Structure 1
Amino acid sequence: MKIPIVSVSWLQENINNPELIILDAVLDAPPHDLQIAGARTFDIKNKFSDTSIPLPNTLPQPQAFATEARKLGISKHSKIVVYDTKGIYSSPRAWYLFKSMGHENVWVLDGGFPAWEKEGFAIEKVALKSFKEGDFEAHFKADMFKNKFQVLHNITSKEAIVIDARSADRFNAETEEPREGLRSGHIPNAVNVPFSKVLKDGHFLPKEELKQILPHQDQNLYFSCGSGITACINLIAYELISNNQPKAIYDGSWTEWGQDYNLPIEK
C-alpha cells in the first residue's frame, strides 16, 4: 500500500488536479457549516454503511458502495483525499472503506479541516450539490474485513493479534460502556492501543515515534474498537510504520462482541 496520509500543503499544491476529489467524512450529516472548498460530503452512517444491519457503521455491500460513490462523481481513476473536522477521527474509516473496495488512490488529510483552516486555505459553506455520475467500480478485498466468527476462531488459532482502540478504562472494564446493553471488558488476548496515543493535536505522530510505541509490529493484526471507526485510526498508524503485514478491521467491534453473551470476554 502507498503512504496513507498527505499534508495540507500537498493538498493545496494539488488542488487543481482534475482527477482529485476531496471528501468530507461525516458521521452525522450535516454536522457543520464549513468545508474545504470543493469538498463533497461522504456520509458514513447513512450512505456508506449497511443500514439494514442493527450495528453502527457496518461495511456496505460492494455494489451499494459503488452506487453511492458514483453519485459523488467518483471514478475508477479518481485520486481521493478524505478529511474530517476533528483532525483525525472519521476520515480513516472513509479511507478504509475505499481500500477495502479495491480503490488504491485514496489518502487521509493529516490534521484535517482544522489544519487546513489554520493555514488560511480556501473554505466554503456546506451546501447540497449534485455531480456528474462517475464510473467507480468496487472490487471487495475480503481479507481486509473480519467478522465475529473469524475473530472467535483467532482466539485459539492465534493467527493475528487483536488491537483494541478503545480507552484503557473501557478495555479493562473499569467503566461501563457508553452503549447500553454491552458487557465490559475485551476480546480474549487482545492488546490495548487507545487511538488517542497515536495522535497529537489532530495529526498522526511521526513515524519514528509510532515505531517506539506500537506493539506487535511484525505480526498479522486485526483492529477493533467500539463501532468500527477508531479501529481504522490504529490501522493507519501501523500502515505508516509497516505496510507489509496483513491488517484487517473487525467491523462489528465491541458493539457486536459486547452484546453477544455467547462470545468470551476478558477483564
Structure 2
Amino acid sequence: MTAPIVSTTWLHTHLEEPNLVILDASLKDNQSSLKTDLENIQIKGSRFFDIKNTFSETNNPLPNTLPSPEKFEEEARKLGINKNSIIVVYDTLGVYSSPRAWWLFKTMGHQNVHILDGGLPAWIEEGYKTEKNQREDIYPIGDFEANFNPNLVKNKEQLLKNIQTKEAILIDARAENRFKGIGDEPRPGLRSGHIPGSINIPYTQLLRDGKFLPKEELLKILKPNNKPLVFTCGSGVTACIDLIAFELISDAPKSIYDGSWTEWGQLENFPIEK
C-alpha cells in the first residue's frame, strides 16, 4: 500500500525533484455548494488537471465519467506527464476533487501519484509560494502510457448483482439526508434514496479543516475488514474521498461505481431504499 497522501512540508522539500509534476484538480463548481476565494491562485509551477472538461467522457450524459484510456493518455501527455513522473495533485478546497484525479491515475495504471493533504489552503497557510493561474501554458509532450485496470471500476450491473451476493461492501459518501431520501436530489430528475444494502459514510466525517483525520480516528469510524469495498456518491467525485480514507488504513480491494447516484437514481427498474 503506497502512501496516497503527502504533506505540504513533504511537497515543499521535494519541489526540485526533476520528475515532480504538481496538478491542480480543482472544480469550478461542486454539488456540495462549497466555495473558495482561491480560484485564481495556484501552487507555483502547477498544471491544471481539468476533471470536468478534459479528463471525463464528455459525450456521456452522466457527469465526470471515466474517459477512455486513449483519451486519458493523450491529455496526460499534453500536460507533460511521463511514465516516471511523481505526481502530486491538489485542489482549492483542501480535499475535495483531488482524490478523483488520484483515482483516475491509479485506474490508468500510474502508481506514483499522491494527494496534497489540505490542498491549496494548507499550502498558503504555511506561507509557501503561489502564483496567478497559468491555465493556458503549453508543456513538452510527455510519454505517459495508460494501462487501464478494470478492477478499480464497477458498473450498474455489477452493483445490481452485489445486492444479492453481498460479495463487496458498498459505501455511499453522500450526505445523510440524501442517503435517507429526505428531500430532493440536487440534480433534477433523480429518485431519492440509496442502493439497497449500502452503508452511509458521508465524506465530511473523514476530514477536518480540509485534511484527512489521523489514522487512529479513521480506524474508529471505518472499522475495516478484508471484504472488497465499492464506493459511490452523486457523480463519482466524493466517493474517491472515502476510498482514500480506507486506503490509509486498509489493504482491501477498492473500486468506484462510476455512474453513482446520477445513474442509479434515474434507472426506474433498479431498486432503491430509503
- TM-score band by shorter chain is over 0.9
Secondary structure of the corresponding residue to residue 75 of structure 1: coil
Cα distance between partner residues in 1 of 2:4 and 2:15: 18
Give how far 1:32 is off. Answer: 1.7
- Residue number in structure 2 paired with 1:212: 220
Residue 194 of structure 2 is aligned to residue 181 of structure 1: no
Give how far 1:27 is off. Answer: 2.3
Give how far 1:219 is off. Answer: 1.7
Residue 74 of structure 2 is aligned to residue 67 of structure 1: yes
What percent of counterpart residues are identical?
Answer: 60
Cα distance between partner residues in 1 of 2:104 and 2:227: 22
* 1:50-89 correspondence to structure 2 within 5 Å: 50-89=57-96
- Residue number in structure 1 paired with 2:27: 27
Give the one of 253, 257, 261 matched to 1:254: 261
Deviations 1:126-159 (A, max 9, x none): 0220000000000000000001011111111111
Q: Give the conservation status (yes or no) of the 8 Å contact 1:90–1:230.
A: yes
State the aligned residue count: 265
* 1:73-152 correspondence to structure 2 within 5 Å: 73-127=80-134, 128-152=136-160
Cα distance between partner residues in 2 of 1:75 and 1:61: 18
Q: Give the conservation status (yes or no) of the 8 Å contact 1:163–1:221.
A: yes
- Residue number in structure 1 paired with 2:52: 45
Give the gaps of 5 or more residues in structure 2.
Answer: 30-37
Residue 229 of structure 2 is aligned to residue 221 of structure 1: yes
Cα distance between partner residues in 1 of 2:44 and 2:159: 41
Secondary structure of the corresponding residue to residue 211 of structure 1: helix
The one-letter code sitting in structure 2 at the alignment partner of 1:253 is S
Deviations 1:39-60 (A, max 9, x none): 0000001000001110000000
> With structure 2 as the length reference, what TM-score do the two structures score?
0.95
Cα distance between partner residues in 2 of 1:148 and 1:33: 37
- Residue number in structure 2 paired with 1:6: 6
User: After TM superposition, which residue ranges in structure 1, 4 or more long, deviate above 3 angstroms?
Assistant: none
Give how far 1:262 is off. Answer: 1.2
Q: Give the conservation status (yes or no) of the 8 Å contact 1:48–1:59.
A: yes
Classify 1:80/1:202 alpha carbon distance in 2 versus 1 (closer, same or farther; 3 Å): same
Cα distance between partner residues in 2 of 1:262 and 1:36: 46
Give the one of 253, 258, 263 matched to 2:270: 263
The one-letter code sitting in structure 2 at the alignment partner of 1:78 is S
RMSD of aligned residue pairs (Cα, Å) = 1.0
Give how far 1:230 is off. Answer: 0.1
